Amino acid sequence: MAFWAAAVAALLLWLLLLLAMALATRNPEVIAGPPAGELADQSPAVVDLITGHWRLTGEAPAATLLDLAARGVVQIEEIGPELSLVRLRHDPGDLNPYEKLVLEHLQALAVDGVVATGALAEGSRDLSRWWKSFRRKVIVDARSQGLSQPRWSRAQAAVLTAAAGVPALAIAVAVTVDDRKHSAGPGAGIVSWVLLTLLMGKLNGERGTRRGAELAGYWLGVRKHFAASGRFPQLPAASVTLWGRHLAYAAALGVAPTAVTSLPVSTPADDRRAWSDYGGMWHVVTVRYPRRMLWAREPRPMLLRALGAGALAGFWAWVVLLVASAFGWWPDALRTPSAFVVGALVAAVPLAYAISDLTRKAEIEGQIVRLRRVDVGSGENRGHSYVHWCAIDQGREREVKAFGISGTLWGALAEGDRVRARVGPTLGWISEIEVAERRQRQERYDDTGEYRIDAPENLGEVRISDPRKE
């Protein structure tokens, strides 16, 4: 027990050290300044960071796009009540790395230099990777201006990491003394040290400097000025033509929700609502994923499933009729024929569908608007089993049904590709697909070189509170 008491004491001392360092490195107090209408030099994304407890919020990418529009890099036009367009205008010249990231996303989506605002969530990008890249670049800019810094310095991180070895060693000794047969002490010590360093990393994050806190207070005063006007909450994104950079900063400060919502740069694409430019004009397509009883099924395996389902249904019908015959409720002579009829009826429809799709195919052309993969067979004792969906806008209807497709074919496609495909019309299975025109892809983002920093992975993904709304 003495060894365990020593281990607990060492652990508590380390936790006290961690708590002391956390208190010593907490964010400086931000005091909102008086209402002010003059804009300072920081970009909207940096303003979002320093006024949001040094955690970047979802408004930052939309605010950056509005700022690009205010500076003439792009133009946002309202065409109708449900359609606004972003038009690329000219060479932007020298942009910040995170501004380039937003512009590159627009360029990847644009057709003839134009993309619908609602389509900004589209594309084949890895949104998680994109967001982390954007966040890191904003943090680099804030640090270069002396507005933020890492929570743990290298010395503090080294002290905490080394000190974590003391309770880990004490736990290893206690386990070894307590259980000499299994020699579990070293493993327990390693696991304990890893858990303690993970806890230390979880508490890590960006924190403000004194100058950052002062500027954050000034910008909160600007927010008061914007909020008092009452004009910004209902302004659409296209009104940036009139309001200029003031709308961009209002978005970054959380007082222009309508404009931000209409620019879903950092929002995951809706599985059931897609934007397509097939046919030359941007439009919304509703995607339907039918139940897979007789849809999104490959024809040949469906033949075997149909026969198996018929045999199973016929067997249980025979069992039920056997019991019924024993009580005199069903003639013995009709028991077996009736079971065959039940089995045949159950198998008839899927058999007909499978045979129909094996003998004829529909030729379709269009643009891929959704590629989705659903895990339907994960388990402890088996690997992953996926259903792959591919929805194609053929330019004729505003609602499309997603087709089934093999994982091999699915992996070679990207949303936005123009394709020609052969599809079974009754089971909805794509047997062949050819890419006629590939959409420009942006799969990797610059997270190396001068923009590589020690930013925690969880930074900016969870917002605990927002001082701008206090």
**Residue pLDDT, tens place only, 16-68:** 988 888 887 778 888 888 998 889 899 999 999 999 988 899 899 999 999 99
**Percent of the chain whose predicted confidence (pLDDT) is above 70:** 91
Residue 61 to residue 262: CA distance in whole angstroms: 12
Is residue 446 assigned to a domain?
no
The stretch 60-87 carries a mean pLDDT of 91
- Decide if pLDDT at 207 tops 90: no
Same domain, 255 and 341: no
CA distance 276 to 283: 6
Locate 58 and state its tokens.
């979802």
User: Do 365 and 240 fall within a single domain?
Assistant: no
User: Which pLDDT belongs to residue 463?
Assistant: 34
Q: What is the CA radius of gyration of the chain?
A: 31
228 and 353 in one domain? no
Asked whether the beta carbons of 58 and 267 are under 8 A apart, the reply is: yes
Q: Is the pLDDT of residue 136 over 80?
A: yes
429 & 341 share domain: no
- Is position 405 within any domain? yes
216, 351: one domain? no
Report the CATH number at residue 430: 2.40.50.660
Q: Is 161 left (phi over 0), alpha (psi -120 to 50) or beta?
A: alpha
Cβ 285 vs Cβ 398: under 8 Å: yes
Looking at residue 442, its pLDDT comes to: 53
As given in the structure block, the two tokens for residue 254 are: 């959380």
Using an 8 Å Cβ cutoff, are 253 and 47 in contact? yes
Looking at residue 457, its pLDDT comes to 42
Give the N- to C-terminal CA distance of the chain in Å, as an integer: 50
For residues 246-258, b (16+ Cβ closer than 10 Å) or e, as one string?
A: bbbbbbbbbbbbe
Mean pLDDT of 384-404: 91
Q: Residue 429: give the domain boundaries.
A: 283-292+361-437
- Is 373 part of a structural domain of the chain? yes
Residue position matching structure tokens 């497709």: 405
pLDDT in the model for residue 447: 54
Residues 172 and 205 occupy one common structural domain: yes
CA distance 403 to 388: 8
Contact in structure between 271 and 286 (CB atoms under 8 Å)? no
Structure tokens at 95: 């942009």
- pLDDT at position 378 is 59
Q: What is the sign, positive or negative, of the torsion defined by CA atoms of 266, 131, 49, 271?
A: positive
Predicted confidence (pLDDT) per residue in 249-304, tens digit: 999 999 999 999 999 998 888 899 999 989 888 889 999 999 888 899 999 999 88
445 falls within a domain: no
The predicted structure's pLDDT at residue 381: 55
Nearest to 251 by CA among 279, 276, 223: 223
pLDDT band at 445 (very low <50, low <70, confident <90, very high): low
* Residues 373 and 259 reside in one and the same domain: no
Query: Tokens 């002010």 sit at which residue?
Result: 36
Q: Does residue 453 lie within any of the structural domains?
A: no
Q: Answer yes or no: do 125 and 240 share one domain.
A: yes
Torsion-angle region of 289 (φ positive above 0: left; ψ -120 to 50: alpha; else: beta): beta
User: Domain for residue 458, yes or no?
Assistant: no
- Spatial contact of 141 and 96, defined as CB atoms under 8 Å apart: yes
Same domain, 372 and 386: yes
pLDDT over 60 at 467, yes or no: no
**Residue 253 and residue 111 share a domain:** yes
- The answer to the question of residue 264 being in a domain is yes
Does pTM top 0.75 for this prediction? yes
Q: Which residue has the tokens 């080394």?
A: 162
Looking at the structure, do residues 330 and 253 belong to the same domain, yes or no?
A: no
One domain, residues 321 and 373: no
Once rounded to an integer, what is the mean pLDDT over residues 377-391?
75
381-387: average pLDDT: 72
Work out the angle at residue 38's Cα, subtended by the Cα atoms of residues 37 and 41, and round it to the nearest 5 degrees: 140
Confirm whether 466 is domain-assigned: no
Which among 462, 436, 369 is positioned nearest to 121, based on CA atoms?
369
| Exposure string for 299-308, b = 16+ CB within 10 A, e = fewer | beebbebbee
The closest alpha carbon to 281, from 82, 100, 429, 62, belongs to: 82
Q: Based on the structure, what is the number of domains in the chain?
A: 3
